[in-house]
């Protein structure tokens, strides 16, 4: 039983990218912590990052085809714009997806306040930094 943890554009830069906003953990560090937590729950993990919207769409489809039990998605900036990601999540319903943002998007620029993902997700976690990924894992696991 697998959980897909998908990361969108610019999240490969974590660690050096605006650390005052996103913290100093790299994506590799986050992956390691997620791996430990997912495996402790007796589940497997696919942890990926892409800067390309269509690749993220393909991975959402793949999660459904391989009968994953859930998806955690940090869509990066595509979260604010992507009807394609919204439709992909709706398209694989009822596969549950939890949206994660490191920063509190509601406390930032107005263009970050809207999420195209949230209406298609079971829930959203934002503002808790990299700990949000672990919260999302717990939230998904509690539903299984």
Q: Looking at the annotation, which residues are catalytic? A: 22, 101
Among 2, 10, 29, 46, binds ligand DQA (CB under 6 A): 10
DSSP annotation of 116 reads: S
Comparison of 27 and 45: residue with beta carbon closer to ligand DQA:
27
**Where do runs of H (alpha helix) occur along the chain?**
19-22, 27-40, 53-65, 83-91, 131-143
Q: Which stretch binds ligand DQA (CB under 6 A): 30-38, 48-56, 61-69, 102-110?
A: 102-110
Return d(Cα 59, Cα 56) in angstroms, integer.
5
Where are any strands of DSSP class E within 24-69? Answer: 44-49
Among 49, 50, 103, 115, binds ligand DQA (CB under 6 A): 103
Binding site for ligand DQA (CB under 6 A): 10, 74, 76-77, 79, 101-103, 105, 112
């Amino acid at each position: 039983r697998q959980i897909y943890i998908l990361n969108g554009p610019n999240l490969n830069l974590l660690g050096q990218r605006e650390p005052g906003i996103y913290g100093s953990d790299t994506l590799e560090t986050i992956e390691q912590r997620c791996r430990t937590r997912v495996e402790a729950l007796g589940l497997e993990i696919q942890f990926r990052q892409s800067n390309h919207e269509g690749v993220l769409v393909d991975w959402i489809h793949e999660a459904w085809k391989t009968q994953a039990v859930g998806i955690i998605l940090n869509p990066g900036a595509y979260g604010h714009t992507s009807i394609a990601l919204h439709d992909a999540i709706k398209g694989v319903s009822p596969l549950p997806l939890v949206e994660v943002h490191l920063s509190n998007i509601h406390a930032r620029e107005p263009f970050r306040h809207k999420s195209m993902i949230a209406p298609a997700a079971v829930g959203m976690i934002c503002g808790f930094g990299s700990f949000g990924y672990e919260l999302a894992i717990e939230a998904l696991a509690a539903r299984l």
